[in-house]
């Protein structure tokens, strides 16, 4: 093979893939970590890594946190998508993920997720997590040999010979989720329809 062709192929293999967060309607979540209200700054200095991936066709919120000793899938995510769970081989207790008393880690689940054309799997403990659907902690970062650039708040790693960089949501992109969930948790009856109301409207040919 000609030397020039070899160099060209090598350059193509080393090309970095920039992966922006997935877009779409977010799988409903009760709470999210506090984002500063009224902040117009789009830098990442005071923000953790918020991201969005896709799991079983649903856009889900993701946080990468090098301060977490484990990967976590929220109980809400597992139930909502009916994901198959297994008994944890080494059950243990955690106290910092959920407000209140400590929680027992007795289940884990293999999560198949995608970002753009990138598909991957991660083994997660199942916990009642309020901050996001999927938390990627030190185990994920260790396995991927991921490098966190704190200035840009990006994560870089290699997958199947390709260099990938995950770019975070801007602070302004995180806030709307926080506000939307607050609206969803209000008690205003105008936001909800009963099953009977829906059936009556459909039978009458009305648009809901």
- Whether pLDDT at 57 is above 70: yes
Which segments of the chain does DSSP mark as H helices, in order?
Answer: 3-13, 75-80, 138-144, 171-184, 195-203
Burial label for 17, CB within 10 Å (0-12, 13-18, 19+), is: middle
pLDDT at 70: 92
The total of other beta-carbon atoms located within 10 Å of residue 22's CB is 19
pLDDT digits (tens, 9 = 90+) for 93-109: 877 655 566 788 999 99
Give the pLDDT band of residue 26 (cuts 50, 70, 90).
low
Domains of the chain from N-terminus onward: 16-33+42-203 (2.40.70.10)
Q: How much is the pTM? A: 0.67
């Amino acid at each position: 093979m000609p030397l020039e062709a070899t160099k060209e192929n090598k350059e193509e293999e080393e090309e970095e893939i920039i992966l922006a967060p997935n877009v779409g309607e977010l799988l409903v979540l009760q709470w999210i970590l506090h984002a500063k209200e009224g902040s117009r700054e789009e830098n990442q200095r005071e923000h953790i890594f918020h991201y969005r991936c896709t799991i079983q066709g649903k856009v889900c919120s993701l946080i990468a946190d090098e301060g977490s000793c484990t990967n976590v899938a929220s109980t809400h995510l597992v139930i909502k998508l009916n994901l198959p769970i297994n008994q944890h081989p080494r059950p243990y207790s955690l106290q910092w993920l959920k407000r209140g008393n400590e929680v027992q880690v007795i289940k884990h689940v293999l999560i198949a997720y995608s970002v753009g054309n990138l598909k991957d799997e991660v083994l997660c403990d199942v916990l009642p997590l309020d901050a996001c659907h999927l938390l990627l902690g030190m185990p994920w970062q260790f396995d991927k040999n991921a490098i966190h650039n704190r200035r840009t708040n990006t994560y870089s790693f290699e997958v199947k010979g390709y260099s990938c960089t995950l770019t975070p949501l801007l602070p302004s992109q995180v806030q709307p989720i926080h506000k939307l969930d607050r609206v969803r948790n209000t008690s205003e009856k105008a936001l909800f329809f009963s099953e009977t109301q829906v059936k009556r409207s459909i039978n009458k040919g009305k648009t809901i």
